[in-house]
Amino acid sequence: MVAFAEKALEGTDNKRRDVENNMILLGLVGIIDGLRPESSESVKLCRRAGIVIHMLTGDHLETAAAIAKEVGILNPATTNSNISGTTIMTGDEFDRLTDLEIDRMSPLPIVVARCSPQTKVRMIRALQRKKRLTGMIGDGVNDSLAVKSADVGIAMGAKGSDVTRQAAEIILEDDNFATIVAAIKEGRRIFENQIKFILYLMSSNCAEVIVLVAGLAFRDRSGRSVYPLSPVQILWENLLTCAFPAFG
């Protein structure tokens, strides 16, 4: 926030203490770092995917609440009077709580304003004690401890500090939260395909093994076990039914 004021002066030889008083206020100018257009949609996708977003910031409490409502981390229709005391907290309030008191909170605070680096680390550890997989996104030096403590540390590549980038496992080159959401979606798709492939291999190979083991119960006139498939047929079957799905 920047204030503009004016004052009429006589001459040019004026001392500073005489100039900066009894001025006429012209107005105030507010400066805001605008949100990316895709941020709100990314937050909706996270909520739909079961991902809980916690906002830990050094901004003022009212500023943090307004941004959280605008991006969708908090319900935009929620008024200040309807917000629970544990939904939005300051860093000092959170730090005064013991680990036992934090563990009893359900859910943990969604927005924590005026955070110190230790506040962010305590939030990460509280989530980990609840058996949550944690990811921390940070850019400044004060985020490096939390980024290092999280299961997945993510640093901003364009505006992030060197310390935070060195502490992180992933560097976000475009500094866009939507990129993280897209990466999670792709990772889940790959994981689901791996599960499908493993189940397919287990079912086909188990069926093959059962057939071969069952052959041990049958013997020919010479007393040798009768196998339904020859070694060449086994190799050919594995080549056709396993090789191409594995490539896929």
Are 110 and 89 in contact by the 8 Å Cβ rule? The answer is no
Same domain? For 126 and 106 the reply is: yes
Domain extent at residue 210: 191-247
Same domain? For 210 and 234 the reply is: yes
CA distances from 205 to 221, 228, 242 (A): 29, 15, 9
Looking at the structure of the chain, the number of domains it has is 2
**Domain edge (last residue) among 147, 164, 184:** 184
pLDDT at 77: 61
Q: Which of 131, 1, 3, 117 is nearest to 57 (CA)?
A: 117
pLDDT at 212: 79
Is 235 inside a domain boundary? yes
pLDDT at 80: 56
Residue at 1: amino acid letter: M
pLDDT at 81: 46
**Domain edge (last residue) among 139, 155, 184:** 184
Are 127 and 134 in contact by the 8 Å Cβ rule? The answer is yes
Same domain? For 180 and 72 the reply is: yes
Same domain? For 94 and 214 the reply is: no
Q: Other CB atoms closer than 10 Å to residue 215's CB: what's the count?
A: 14
CATH number for position 81: 3.40.50.1000
Same domain? For 177 and 220 the reply is: no
Same domain? For 51 and 166 the reply is: yes
Same domain? For 124 and 92 the reply is: yes
Same domain? For 155 and 122 the reply is: yes
Q: Which of 143, 187, 183 is nearest to 166 (CA)?
A: 143
Q: What is the mean pLDDT of each run of 10 residues along the chain (248 residues)?
A: 86 78 89 81 91 91 89 72 71 93 90 93 95 92 92 90 92 90 92 88 82 79 77 81 72
Is 13 inside a domain boundary? no
**Domain edge (last residue) among 133, 166, 184:** 184
